[in-house]
Structures are given as C-alpha cells and as structure tokens.
Amino acid sequence: MDGFCGAVLSPLLERYPEVERTLNSWSCAESMWLRRAALVTLVPFARRGRRLVTAYRLAREHFADPEDLLHKAIGWLLRETGKTDGPRLKRFLLRHGPVIPRTALRYAIERFPATERAELLQATRSSSDEED
C-alpha cells in the first residue's frame, strides 16, 4: 500500500493539486488504510520541503489515533520534513511533544544527532511517562 501511495498517489497529487482535498477527506476516514494513505502520500513532498503545512497539520490530527501503523506513518512523515528543515521539526516536536505517540516521535528524530535525540526524548515526555 505504501508503494502505491508513492508510485501513484504522490504523482497524482503533483499533477493535480486539488487531490489534496481527497487526502484531507481520507485523513478522517474510518479505514485505517485510507488514513495512512493520506499521510504516506505526502512523504515524497515532505522529503523535498514541499506541502509541509499540510504534512504537519495531518500529522498533528492523528496524534490521538489508536493505530500503531498510523503512529509509524506520522513519524516517517515528520522525519522526512526534517530533512529540509530540521529546526522547524524540532520546534514542532517540542511544542506538541507530550501528545505525540512515542513510536511517532522515535521515528521522527532518527536523523538527529544522538545527544539531540536524547534531549528531545526527555523534553517531550508526558507526566505519565515520568511516573513509570
């Protein structure tokens, strides 16, 4: 499914920007696969520093999603945004840290230097994490 998003849906969005409305609709779908497709379709754009407003918005909208596969897609999308604008990603993570699923956060910070990853993991902990 992820391959389909990159090979078909991302080029479709490139050619027809109005497809973004469909992604917004899919982002709210009952189907976990449509919600994931909405995020994964944006990965090639995020990698090139494009459609970042949409990428951050959709990622944020899915923080409370119960599906681990969505958490992984969020993290992947966020990691790719950081390739072209690491400081913006860091600010986003610090602003939303306690509500970001830990799986998503770990994926998102993979490319940060080790010391910065450790700092971000600590700075974004929720109060319930600290009780464990």
Domains in the chain, CATH or no CATH each: 2-131 (1.25.10.90)
pLDDT of 120 reads 94
Q: Which residues of the chain have pLDDT under 50?
A: 131-132
Q: List the one residue out of 42, 47, 44, 45 whose CA is nearest residue 59.
A: 42
Q: For position 56, what pLDDT does the model report?
A: 97
Please give the pLDDT value at position 132: 45
Alpha-carbon distance 63 to 100, whole Å?
A: 5
Q: What pLDDT sits at residue 118?
A: 95
3 state SS of 11: helix
What is the per-residue pLDDT across 20-36, written as a single tens digit (0 to 9) for each? 999 999 999 999 999 99
